[in-house]
Structures are given as structure tokens and as C-alpha cells.
Amino acid sequence: MIVPRILVDVAVLLGLLSTGLGRTMRLEEPHNRPMSAPIWSSEATPLDTNRLALVIGNSTYPDAGSPLPQMTSDAEGLTNALRKNGFLVDAVDNATHPDMTRAIDHLRARVHLNSIVLVYFGGYGVQSDGQNYLIPVDAKIWSEEDVRRQGVSIDRLLSQLKTSGARVRLVVIEASRRNPYERRFRTYSHGLAPIQTSENALILSSAPPGQVVEDPDELHSRLMAALLTQIDSSKGIEEVFNNTRDAVVAATQGQQIPAVSSTLTESVNLWPARSGAPVSSAGSAASGRRE
């Protein structure tokens, strides 16, 4: 039987549409926001190309078996908060490996010597040989070699941002979960490994190295709920991260203790338009702190 050409064309079109279901990529231009970006009132801060962000929220992992619905909600909440205050944000939901690679390349192309860059990842993270890897939703993990081949290295990402010229690197990682692939591995590990940082970086993680957290049955994770509250202030970013940690500790009665690691050599104010303060001032922060 000969299938009419029009039916073949329709089948191909439906196949292409189905591959895009469940994930959204919004790569934002300074003067051309995508339709999915929030429309803010006249009080919103104009976009500042010195302040860049990449936000990735991965909820749907077909090969992992356990979805993480809060991660796309957390990513959306943070994206809106950053855009409202003038950040130029690229946001990716349920990112495949090509999606993550493309988004990172897009971010690096924007970075210049005066850039403050914030990267957020919510999803599964797996450590292998002392390195941490962010897992895309299309990963099929059967061994640690698969982790290294299909994951995105946090340490390499930080190094790439430094090489690209980013002056300040800020990272929020919500990936301290039980490894969903651990039964397939010969070795066994909890949570993430310590993240090695170079000068002028600040990292907030949902748990210390080697520990895992459970996700509550709520709209946002405990870390993001606290961060969104603290970020809505004119405090310096290091104070925001430290206060977020303290709020989570208080809310969980010490059951969850986020980790803050800092090598900042300057004080960074993410919201200069609110307070009239400069975005950053060199020499006002001690380096080499790990709290």
C-alpha cells in the first residue's frame, strides 16, 4: 500500500512537535524578550547586560523514574525574581544535554570582563571521581562513565565562565539528592562532592557535600522558598545566601543545612537600583571563606 505524501508530512510534523513537549527554552535578548517572559510594571528595573543568569529546572527524568516537580517551579520563581530586578536571564525547563550545552554556550558568548553571572540548576546531580555532574533529562545512566559522558560538569562550567572573563560567579545548586541510578553502579556515594572554586565565586547548595535532602510536598523547595524571600531585599548577595541557609536551618529545625562556599574578594550588591549602591566594590570581602 502506498501512503499518501500528505499523511507522511503530517506524521513527521507530529513527531517534531512531540519532541518539544515538556521542555521550554527561553534565551533572552536585551531588547527582545520572548513571549513566555513575565511582563512587569513600570517599577521593573531595566535589563542590565552586566548581570547575566542561566536558570535550569529539570523535573522530568524518564530514565530516573522519580520526577522532581518542584524544580521547574523553583526555576520559574527565580527567573521571575531576577528578571524583575533587571537580570538578563536565559531559562531552560527540562533540558536535554544539547539544550544545556547550547544554553551554556549562549551564556558564555554574552560574558565580558565586568559581568556578574549567576547559574542555577535544579534537578539530579551525581558525583564521580570527585567531580559533580548536572544530569540532563535525556540521560540514560548505567555506569559512572555514562555520568561523565552525559552529565555537565559543575567544575568545568565554573572554569569556562572564568575563562570567558566573568568577574563574579554565583551558583545555586539544588541537586543534593539520592542518586537515582545508584543500584546500577559498582560504587555507592551520597549527595555531591565538594565543589572546587577559584577566586571571586560564591556557591549555595541545598546540602553539604556527602549529604542528601528530601523534597517537601510543596510548591517550592525549602531552599528556594527561603532564597526568594531573602532575594527580595537590597542586601549583598553573600548575606542573601547566608540568610537563606539560616532560614532553612530554622524551618527544618536543623534537619537541612544548606552549604555556602565563598571565595569572594569584593562585596556584591545584586540590586543596585534599589539602594543606590554600586553593583560591587573590590576589597570589602575576605577571600577563601567556606561556611
Question: Which residue did the predictor score with more confidence, 17 or 149?
Answer: 149
Q: Name the least confident of 68-82, 101-115, 170-184, 203-217.
A: 170-184
pLDDT at site 270: 75
Residue 276 pLDDT exceeds 60: no
The single-letter code of the amino acid at 108 is R
Residue 150 pLDDT exceeds 60: yes
Residue 283 pLDDT exceeds 70: no
- Name the band, by pLDDT with cuts 50, 70 and 90, for residue 186: low
- Name the band, by pLDDT with cuts 50, 70 and 90, for residue 197: confident
pLDDT at site 196: 83
Taking the C-alpha atoms of residue 189 and residue 179, their distance in angstroms, rounded to an integer, is 8
pLDDT at site 281: 54
Going from the N-terminus, what domains does the chain have, and what CATH number goes with each? 22-31+43-290 (3.40.50.1460)
pLDDT at site 33: 42
Q: Shortest CA distance to 124 belongs to which of 196, 62, 77?
A: 62
Region 139-166: what's the mean pLDDT? 91
